[in-house]
A and B are shown apart, each in its own frame.
Chain A
Amino acid sequence: MEKILVLTLFVPLVGAIINGVFGSPFKKYAHWVAVPAIGISWLGALYLLKFVLAGNTLLVNLWQWIPVKDFNVNFGLYLDPLSTVMIATVTTVSFFIHIYSIGYMHGDPGYRRYFSYLNLFVFSMLLLVLANNYVLLFVGWEAVGLCSYLLIGFWYEKKSASDAGKKAFIVNRIGDAGFILGIFTMFFTVGAVDYRTVFEAAPHLSAAVVGAITFFLFMGAMGKSAQFPLYVWLPDAMEGPTPVSALIHAATMVTAGVYMVARSSALYSAHGSVANLVAGIGAFTAILAASIALVNDDIKRVLAYSTISQLGYMFIGVGIGAYATGIFHLYTHAFFKALLFLTAGSVMHALHGELNMQKMGGLFKKMPHTGITFIIGALALSGIPPFAGFFSKDAILKEALLRGHVTIWWIGTITAFMTAFYMFRLIFMVFFGNPRDKELYEHAHESPAVMTIPLWILAIGAIVVGWVGIGEDASPFFKFLAPSLHYAEHGALIEPTVWQEWLPLAFGILGIILAWSMYMKNLPSPEGMARTFRTFYKLLKGKWYVDEIYDIFIVKPIHFLAVLLFKLVDRILIDGTVNGVAWLNRAVGSILNKIQTGAVKTYMVWIVFAATLILWLQLLK
Chain B
Amino acid sequence: MKLDLLSLVIIFPIIGAIPVFFMSPKNKKVLFDYTLLMTLVEFLLSLFLLKGFKFGLYGFQYEHVYKWIPSIGASFHVGIDGMSLILILLTTFLTALGILSSYNYITHKAKEYVIVMLLMETGMIGVFASLDLLLFYLFWELMLIPMYFLIGIWGHERRVYAAFKFVIYTMAGSALLITGILVLYFYNHSVTGVYTFDLLKLYRLNVPYDLAKKLFLAFAIAFAIKVPIFPFHTWLPDAHVEAPTAGSVLLAGVLLKMGIYGFLRFAFPLFPKAAIHYAPLFMALGIVGIIYGAFMSWVQKDLKKLVAYSSVAHLGFIVLGIFTFNMYGTQGAVIQMVNHGLSTGALFFIVGMLYERRHTRLIEEFGGLAKVMPVFSVIFGIVMLSSIGLPGLNGFIGEFLVMLGAFKASKFAAYFAVVGIIFAAVYMLTMFQRVVFLKVKEKNLGLPDISLREFFVLAPILLFIFWIGIYPKPYLKMTEPTSSAVIMQIKSTQNAEKEIKMLTGPVGEEISLKITGRKAR
- Whether B401 is near chain A, meaning CB under 8 Å from some CB there, is yes
Sorted nearest first, the 8 A-B pairs with minimum C-beta distance are A156-B437, A562-B295, A139-B391, A177-B418, A184-B407, A162-B437, A69-B327, A173-B425
Q: From residue B230, how far is it (CB to closest CB) to chain A in Å?
A: 9
For residue B328, give the distance in angstroms from its CB to the closest CB of chain A.
Answer: 6
Q: Which of B120-128, B256-264, B355-363, B469-477 contacts A (4 or more CB under 8 A)?
A: B469-477
Give which listed residue, A178, A188, A582, contacts B408 with CB less than 8 A.
A188
CB-CB under 8 A for A180 and B418, given A66-B472, A562-B295? yes
Nearest residue (CB) in A for B296 is A566
Output the nearest chain B residue to A153 by Cβ-Cβ distance: B437
B426 contacts the other chain (Cβ, under 8 Å)?
Answer: yes
Kindly provide the distance from the CB of B140 to the nearest chain A CB, expressed in whole angstroms. 21
Within 8 A of A (CB), among B427-450: 429-430, 433, 436-440
Q: Is there a chain B Cβ closer than 8 Å to A68's Cβ?
A: yes
Q: Kindly list chain B residues whose C-beta atoms are within 8 Å of the C-beta of A188.
A: 407-408
B327 touches A157 (CB 8 A): no
Residue from the list A67, A135, A141, A157 in contact with B439, Cβ < 8 A? A157
A67–B473 CB distance below 8 A: yes
Q: Is the CB of A66 within 8 A of B476?
A: yes
A249, CB-defined interface residue at 8 Å: no
Minimal Cβ-Cβ distance residue in A for B331:
A68
The answer on a CB contact under 8 Å between B476 and A566 is: no
Taking a contact as CB atoms under 8 Å apart, the answer to whether B438 and A181 are in contact is: no
B234, B371, B473: the one within 8 Å of A570 (CB)? B234
Nearest CB of B to A173, in Å: 5
B168's closest neighbor in chain A, by CB? A582
Chain A hits for B23, CB < 8 A: none
CB of A563 within 8 A of chain B? yes
Indicate if the CB atoms of A66 and B397 lie closer than 8 Å.
Answer: yes
In whole angstroms, what is the CA distance A170 to B388 when docked? 11
- Whether a CB of chain A sits under 8 angstroms from the CB of B318 is no
* B168: chain A residues within 8 A (beta carbon): 578, 582
Task: State how many angstroms separate the Cβ of A108 from the closest Cβ of chain B.
Answer: 14
Question: Would you mind naming 9 contact pairs between A and B with Cβ atoms under 8 Å apart?
Answer: A149-B429, A173-B425, A177-B421, A181-B415, A188-B407, A561-B295, A566-B296, A566-B299, A582-B168
Task: Say whether A559 contacts B407, CB under 8 Å.
Answer: no
6 additional contacts (CB under 8 A) given A166-B433, A559-B298: A64-B473, A69-B328, A153-B433, A156-B370, A156-B436, A169-B425
Which residues of chain B come closer than 8 Å to A559, judged between CB atoms?
Answer: 298-299
B461 within 8 A of A: no
* Of B234, B415, B440, B473, the contact of A575 (CB 8 Å cutoff): B234
> Known: A157-B368, A184-B403. Is A173-B296 also a contact (CB below 8 A)?
no
Question: Does B165 reach chain A (CB closer than 8 Å)?
Answer: yes
Using Cβ atoms and an 8 Å threshold, which residues of chain B touch A65? 471-473
On chain A, the residues within 8 Å of B426 by CB distance are 170
Whether B14 sits at the interface, judged by CB under 8 Å, is no
Q: Is the C-beta of A279 less than 8 angstroms from some C-beta in chain B?
A: no
Chain B 473-505, CB-CB to A under 8 Å as 1, else 0, gives: 100110010000000000000000000000000
Closest B residue to A139 by CB, please name it.
B391
Interface flag for B337 (CB, 8 Å):
no
Taken together as a complex, chains A and B put the C-alpha atoms of A139 and B470 apart, in Å, by 10
Nearest A residue (CB) for B235: A578
| B390 within 8 A of partner (CB) | yes
Q: Which A residues are in CB contact (< 8 Å) with B403?
A: 180, 184
B48 to chain A, nearest CB (A): 27
Closest to A585 in B: B168
Q: Which residues of A contact B (CB under 8 A)?
A: 20, 63-69, 71, 135, 138-139, 141-143, 146, 149, 153, 156-157, 159, 162-163, 166, 169-170, 173-174, 176-178, 180-181, 184-185, 187-188, 559, 561-563, 565-566, 569-570, 573-575, 578, 582
A204 → chain B closest CB, angstroms: 21
Question: Which residues of chain B in 339-361 are interfacial with respect to chain A, using CB atoms and an 8 Å cutoff?
Answer: none
Please name all residues of chain B whose beta carbon is closer than 8 Å to the beta carbon of A68 when the two chains form the complex.
Answer: 327-328, 331-332, 401, 476, 480
Q: How distant is B122 from chain A, measured CB to nearest CB, in Å?
A: 30
Contact A578 B425 (CB under 8 A): no
* Residue B231, interface by CB 8 Å: yes
B9 at the interface (CB under 8 A from A): no
A174 touches B234 (CB 8 A): no
> Which B residue's beta carbon lies closest to that of A185?
B407
**Given the contacts A157-B438, A166-B430, A180-B418, A146 and B390 also touching, CB distance less than 8 Å:** yes
Pair A71/B404 contact, Cβ less than 8 Å? yes
Q: Are A157 and B437 closer than 8 Å at their CB atoms?
A: yes
Q: Are B471 and A578 in contact (CB under 8 A)?
A: no
> How far, in whole Å, are A67 and B425 apart by their CA atoms in the complex?
26
Q: Within the complex, what minimum Cβ distance (angstroms) separates B239 from chain A?
A: 13
Taking CB atoms, residues of chain A closer than 8 Å to B408 are 188
Q: Contact at B296–A156, with CB atoms within 8 Å?
A: no
In the assembled complex, which residues on chain B have CB atoms less than 8 Å from the CB atom of A67? 473, 476-477
Name the A residues within 8 Å of B385 (CB-CB).
146
Contact A181 B407 (CB under 8 A): yes
Identify the closest chain A residue to B172 (Cβ). Answer: A581
Q: Whole-angstrom distance between the alpha carbons of A156 and B440 in the complex?
A: 10
Residues A565 and B295 in contact, CB atoms below 8 Å apart: yes
Which residues of chain A are within 8 angstroms of B16 by Cβ–Cβ distance? none
Docked CA distance A169–B425 (Å): 8
- A contact residues around B233 at 8 Å (CB): 574
A170 and B296 in contact, given A66-B397, A71-B328, A180-B400 (Cβ under 8 angstroms): no
Do the beta carbons of B404 and A187 come within 8 Å of each other?
yes
Q: B419 contacts the other chain (Cβ, under 8 Å)?
A: yes
What separation, in Å, do the CA atoms of A67 and B332 have in the docked complex? Answer: 11
The yes or no answer to B392 lying at the interface (CB within 8 A) is: yes
Q: Are A174 and B422 in contact (CB under 8 A)?
A: yes
B422 touches A184 (CB 8 A): no
**Which residues of chain B are near A142, meaning CB under 8 Å?**
390-392
Q: Does B414 contact A (CB under 8 A)?
A: yes
Q: What distance in Å separates the Cβ of B235 from its nearest Cβ neighbour in chain A?
A: 8
Cα distance A355–B390 in the bound complex, in angstroms: 34
**By the criterion CB–CB under 8 Å, are A170 and B422 in contact?**
yes
B292 in contact (CB, < 8 A)? yes
B residues 305-331 in Cβ contact with A at 8 Å? 327-328, 331
Q: How far is the CB of A201 from chain B (nearest CB, A)?
A: 18
Docked complex Cα distance between A135 and B392 (Å) = 11
CA distance A66 to B480 in the complex (A): 12
Most buried by B among A66, A69, A138, A187: A66
Beyond A66-B401, A162-B438, is A157–B371 a contact (Cβ under 8 Å)?
yes
Of chain A, the residue at the smallest CB distance from B483 is A68
Beta-carbon contact of B404 and A184 below 8 Å: yes
Q: Are A574 and B407 in contact (CB under 8 A)?
A: no
Instruction: Indicate if the CB atoms of A562 and B299 lie closer than 8 Å.
Output: yes
Q: What distance in Å separates the Cβ of A304 from its nearest Cβ neighbour in chain B?
A: 22
